[in-house]
Amino acid sequence: MIYEERTYSLVPGKVGDYLERFERDGLAIQTRFLGDLKGYFTTESGALNQVVHIWRFESFEDRARRRAQLWSDPEWIAYADGVLPLITAMENRFLQPTRFSPMM
């Protein structure tokens, strides 16, 4: 099992716009393909104008398969085309839970 933490840096002042679009249009599509959303956050200290989301996958292969399906969906592509201009940078990292992690 792996967790993917994705951080999107957004155009200053556009966090609200991004979140509104994601909740209205993107969330249902993304969860349909990616499955297990563990959390969606905004930053309040450190780097601002960011959203951070965490997804759980069974393996790297599971993640690759699910993301390929997501990016083959015309509805997702149309949504992404609309929000990508709000994103200035993307970062992701993979987290491996320890055997005593409550997220196991």
Count: domains in the chain? 1
Instruction: Tell me if 92 sits within 8 A of 6, measured CB to CB.
Output: yes
In this structure, the dihedral spanned by the alpha carbons of residues 38, 90, 14 and 67, taken in order and rounded to 10 degrees, is -50
How does residue 30 score in pLDDT terms, banded at 50, 70 and 90? Answer: very high
Residue 104 lies in a domain: no
CATH label of the domain that carries residue 33? 3.30.70.100
Residue 100 lies in a domain: no
How does residue 102 score in pLDDT terms, banded at 50, 70 and 90? Answer: confident
Residue 88 lies in a domain: yes
Residue 55 lies in a domain: yes
Residue 7 lies in a domain: yes
pLDDT at 88 exceeding the cut of 80? yes
Domain range for residue 89?
A: 2-95
Q: What is the 3-state secondary structure (H, E, C) of the chain?
A: CEEEEEEEEECCCCHHHHHHHHHHHHHHHHHHHHCEEEEEEECCCCCCCEEEEEEEECCHHHHHHHHHHHCCCHHHHHHHHHHHHHEEEEEEEEECCCCCCCCC
pLDDT at 103 exceeding the cut of 80? no
Question: Residues 34-67: pLDDT tens digits?
Answer: 999 999 999 999 999 999 999 999 999 999 999 9
How does residue 104 score in pLDDT terms, banded at 50, 70 and 90? Answer: low
- Return the amino acid letter for 32: R
Please tell me the pTM assigned to this model.
0.91
